[in-house]
Structure 1
Amino acid sequence: MSLQPFKSIGIGVAFSPNLKANLFEAARLSLFFNSKLILIHVGEVSDDKVKMLKVFLKPFEKDNLKYEVVYKPGDPVNVILSTTEEKDIDLLILGALQRERFLKYYVGSIARKITRKAKCSVLLLIKPSVERVACEHIVVNGLEDPKTEQTIKAAYYVASHLSAEKITIVEEIKQEQVSVKVDDDKSLRKANIIKERIRLRENSRIKDIIEHIPEKYTKSIVTKLQPIFGKQGYSIGHYAQISRADLLVMNAPSKMTFWDRLFPHDIEHILTELPTDVLILQ
């Protein structure tokens, strides 16, 4: 695991009511991870825009925040994706929107396209705040997948830098792995025995991953392993919601068709009704 997975952080800058909160969140994360911050504005440069950004970021001058602003007119999706590659951005921050009258957040169409096409990690923020809200509990997928080991390692890196107290690693297990039809006490006992064996196997796999993470990232964090039998993608999103997690950390898809394997029919659930802030790791 790289000691600094996020050397540069990018954020799309729109001059909207959320501008200050988005900038403060991005600036704080850049300082936490010792990263350079790149602000991407889809539009022409103007004196008023330059002045406003300087005013908002002035409180971070004393902390030596390193940042630059890119002004580029064009299609928002293309501008943000091309700038992300040109500037070698490791983590792209995108804002989610709250549906009117509902306490549910979703990713707008532009952000959803960027999320699916970005070659870097993406952080989806549902409630950016000028005042910092502590990140205390992180939920991370423990899916059996080649990318999961790096995802879990990165989750501990993030947790240690944000001073989180707890990480829950959710091992989503397909119900069909318990291939027993339960219709009496005997078959129920058999199904429970199979489930327990799968739990032990999954927990052993995750513990082996954790043992290979440097202790400085894990020692101050309470770790919980949570096997869940159910629909992949939907189950972890629901768990993050009911456990009031502050951040959900997921593997990124290897290719477009991988969404269906990772979240069968449920990627839209994650992206349109976000349970909390979501970090999708490349």
Structure 2
Amino acid sequence: MSIKTFKSIGIGVAYSPNLKANLFEAARLAVFFKAKLFLIHVGEASEDKKNMLRVILKSFEKDNLDYEVVFKKGDPVNVILSTSEEKKIDLLILGALQRERFVKYYIGSIARKITRQAKCSVLLLIKPSVNRVACQHIVVNGLKDPKTAQTIKRAFYVGHKLKSQKITIVEEINKEELAVKVEDDKSLRRATIMKERIKLRENLRIKEIIEHIPKQYTENIVVKSQPIFGKKGYSIGHYAQISRADLLIMNAPTKMTFWDRLFPHDIEHILTELPTDVLILQ
């Protein structure tokens, strides 16, 4: 199975205090992945706007940054989604918001709608920076799912390009798999043995996936496998937070229904309170 790479990156451009930091993050990623960068502005074109973007991105001329500015009027969600499809964007970058007085980040309504509807991968940034903050530790989901093998392979591709030092693969295991009610020492031993068997099974499954990843992406990266018993989405988000991961990589949900919005699970737990920068892979 070949690894899908990022050839085009898109970012919505709003003339806000975070503009320079957002553009620097997007431009750096475009350079790292050797991708074309599309700057999408919802509104009318003007020479002043173009010139402002040119000035901000001037320092990336030496890196041969290839970028294009797209101006389009309309609803922000529709404009960003339609431009992403028209330009065949592989990775869309969106900013998150910080709650007042709390160091917790969440997605605004526009970014949430885009994240749910985007047909490409989405990167949610919680603290964009003009100066690069190295992405040293990546956490990626290893849950049993048809998309997971490709997600793990692409996580190693991302880690290789960003020169990350460590990748932790978190296998979230549903507590229902432990069909033993602990009532005494005997049942506790039985539950412990069952838990260890499940962990071993999951680790072997992940090991097999890693063996099929090209060596160029796995060398020089410390790999850790971490089985966790708990609620999907919440457990991995909590782990990414306490382990101070720089990036959390997740499968895109197969389908979002009305009930997913009412009863958050899996990816919705992550979107509710972002533990770190999150990359959702399509």
TM range (shorter): over 0.9
The residue aligned with 1:47 is: 47
- CA distance in structure 2 between the aligned counterparts of 1:268 and 1:252, rounded to whole angstroms: 11
| Offset, 1:272 | 2.3
For structure 2, the 5+ residue unaligned runs are none
- The Cα of 1:259 is off from its aligned counterpart by 9.0
Aligned counterparts of 1:234 and 1:257: Cα–Cα separation in 2: 19
Alignment of 1:150-189 (within 5 A): 150-189=150-189
Once residues 254 and 232 of structure 2 are traced to their aligned partners in structure 1, the CA distance between those partners, rounded to angstroms, is 16
Separation in structure 2 between the aligned mates of residue 278 and residue 119 of structure 1, nearest angstrom: 16
Report the TM-score when normalising by structure 2: 0.97
Q: How does 1:100-111 map to 2 (within 5 A)?
A: 100-111=100-111
AA of the residue aligned to 1:57: L
SS at match of 1:231: coil
Q: Which residue of 1 aligns with 2:29?
A: 29
Check conservation: 2:12, 2:39, Cα contact below 8 A.
yes
Distance 1:4 1:171, change over 3 A: closer
Q: Distance in 2 between matches of 1:33 and 1:90?
A: 11
1:254 shift after superposition: 1.7
Q: Which residue of 1 aligns with 2:56?
A: 56
Task: State the partner residue of 2:11.
Answer: 11
**So what's the TM-score if we normalise by structure 1?**
0.97
Partner residue in 2 for 1:272: 272
Percent identity of paired positions between Structure 1 and Structure 2 = 80
Q: Quick one: which amino acid aligns to residue 151 of structure 1?
A: T
Alignment of 1:10-159 (within 5 A): 10-159=10-159
Deviation at 1:267, TM superposition (A): 3.9
Match for residue 217 of structure 1?
217
| Alignment size in residue pairs | 280
> Cα deviations across residues 80-128 of structure 1 (Å, max 9, x unaligned)?
0000000000000000011110000000000000000000000000000
Contact 2:3 / 2:154 at 8 angstroms: preserved in 1?
Answer: no
CA–CA distance in structure 1, aligned partners of residues 269 and 215 of structure 2: 35
Alpha-carbon RMSD: 1.4
SS state at 1:144 partner: coil
Contact 1:8 1:90 in 2 (8 A): yes
Query: What whole-Å deviation, never above 9, does each CA across 1:139-159 have from its counterpart, x for those lacking one?
Result: 000010000000000000000
CA distance in 1, matches of 2:152, 2:269: 22
Distance, in Å, in 2 between the alignment partners of 1:155 and 1:97 is 25
Paired with 2:34 and 2:276, the residues of 1 have a C-alpha distance of 24
- SS of 1:100's partner is coil
1:241 pairs with 2:225: no
Contact 2:253-2:267 within 8 A present in 1 as well: no
**Separation in 2, partners of 1:4, 1:173:** 27
Q: Distance in 1 between matches of 2:212 and 2:125?
A: 30
Asked if the contact 2:140/2:168 (under 8 Å) is kept, the reply is yes
Deviation at 1:268, TM superposition (A): 3.7
SS state of the match for residue 41, structure 1?
strand
Amino acid at match of 2:225: L
- For 2:162 and 2:30, locate their aligned partners in 1 and report how far apart those are by CA, in whole Å: 11
